[in-house]
């Protein structure tokens, strides 16, 4: 039984202005996520990646289709907490008035962790994301971007989620930080048997992180399969296009005939 079953999701939205053509839409999206795997979702800007993440987490309601999580086909309070998203603007989830440790402690308390175990649990979680002890009593704005991201990640892990969705966690990071993050996600995946969905437009990162991948184009899944197979033997023209775009050797003519515009 898969952990998550996404079935025939349709979603569209009307937006005024030029964004309309780029607004997130989903057309008949179906896939499954197994317990303990890391699934990659790849595609260009405006392909519907973030919209899909929000639909899975129950933040937005699809026009039609079903999300079956742990065999439960309903949005309940409990389920909301089982799915956590690390957003691109991760720093904003840290309350600027509170120290990192008190933010984590509060989440643990709400989740019913016994009072005398809170400190131990908090240290364990912050340690697992590589957040240094000296920074425990800093506030969000006193941390660098990378440290903020780790604190935000710890805040999500404190809920003890069954599924963690990562929305472009690597953008605006230099390559060394990217490698550190890839190692961290792999380690969390192993240590807690934590299922993850990683959204990225960067094929290279997904090659490093996910065993399975889904390619989204204009809200539709065009190709999916094992990451190595999809990248080494792409079947669809769009996947081939993404791969040569990544190599930065497309001509203007090739770009024009692509789906973009």
Q: How far is the CB of 114 from other proteins (least distance, A)?
A: 39
Burial level of 84, CB count in 10 A (0-12/13-18/19+)? Answer: buried
Q: How far is the CB of 245 from other proteins (least distance, A)?
A: 4
Q: What is the CA radius of gyration of the chain?
A: 19
Q: How far is the CB of 56 from other proteins (least distance, A)?
A: 22
Those residues whose C-beta lies under 8 Å from the C-beta of residue 144, and which sit 6 or more positions away, are: none
Bridge-based pairing of strands 83-86 and 4-11 is unpaired
Site for other proteins, rule CB under 8 A: 16-19, 22, 44-46, 144-146, 171-179, 182, 201, 204-205, 207-211, 227-228, 241-242, 245-246, 248-252, 255, 258, 260-261
160 CA to centre of own chain: 16
Instruction: Give alpha helix (H) positions in the chain.
Output: 49-57, 77-82, 100-110, 118-128, 145-157, 175-191, 203-209, 227-232, 237-246, 252-257
Q: How far is the CB of 106 from other proteins (least distance, A)?
A: 30
Q: How many CB atoms lie within 10 A of CB 222?
A: 18
Q: Which of 104/206 has CB closer to other proteins?
A: 206
Helix (H) or strand (E) holding 221: strand 220-226
Q: Which of 132/229 has CB closer to other proteins?
A: 229
Q: Which of 152/157 has CB closer to other proteins?
A: 152
- DSSP annotation of 90 reads G
Those residues whose C-beta lies under 8 Å from the C-beta of residue 134, and which sit 6 or more positions away, are: none
Q: Which of 162/227 has CB closer to other proteins?
A: 227
Q: Which of 68/135 has CB closer to other proteins?
A: 135
Q: How far is the CB of 150 from other proteins (least distance, A)?
A: 14
Q: For residue 164, give the 3-state DSSP assignment.
A: strand
Q: Which of 44/121 has CB closer to other proteins?
A: 44
Q: How far is the CB of 103 from other proteins (least distance, A)?
A: 24
């Amino acid at each position: 039984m898969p952990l998550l079953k996404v079935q025939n999701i349709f979603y569209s939205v009307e937006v005024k202005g030029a964004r309309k053509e780029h607004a997130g839409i989903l057309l008949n999206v179906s896939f499954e996520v197994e317990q303990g795997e890391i699934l990659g979702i790849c595609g260009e800007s405006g392909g519907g990646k973030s919209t899909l993440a929000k639909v899975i987490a129950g933040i937005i309601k699809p026009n039609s289709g079903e999300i079956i999580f742990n065999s439960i086909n309903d949005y309940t309070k409990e389920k909301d907490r089982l799915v956590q998203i690390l957003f691109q603007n991760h720093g904003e989830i840290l309350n600027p008035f509170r120290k990192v440790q008190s933010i984590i402690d509060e989440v643990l308390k709400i989740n019913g962790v016994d009072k005398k175990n809170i400190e131990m649990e908090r240290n364990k979680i912050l340690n697992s994301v590589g957040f240094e002890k000296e920074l425990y009593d800093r506030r969000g704005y006193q941390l660098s971007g990378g440290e903020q991201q780790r604190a935000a990640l710890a805040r999500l892990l404190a809920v003890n989620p069954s599924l963690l969705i990562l929305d472009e966690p690597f953008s605006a990071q230099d390559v060394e930080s990217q490698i550190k993050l890839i190692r961290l996600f792999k380690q969390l995946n192993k240590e807690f048997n934590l299922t993850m969905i990683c959204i990225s437009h960067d094929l290279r990162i997904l090659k490093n992180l996910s065993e399975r991948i889904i390619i989204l184009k204009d809200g539709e899944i065009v190709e999916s399969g094992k990451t190595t197979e999809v990248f080494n033997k792409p079947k669809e023209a769009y996947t081939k296009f993404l791969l040569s775009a990544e190599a930065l050797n497309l001509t203007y003519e090739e770009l024009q005939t692509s789906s973009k515009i």
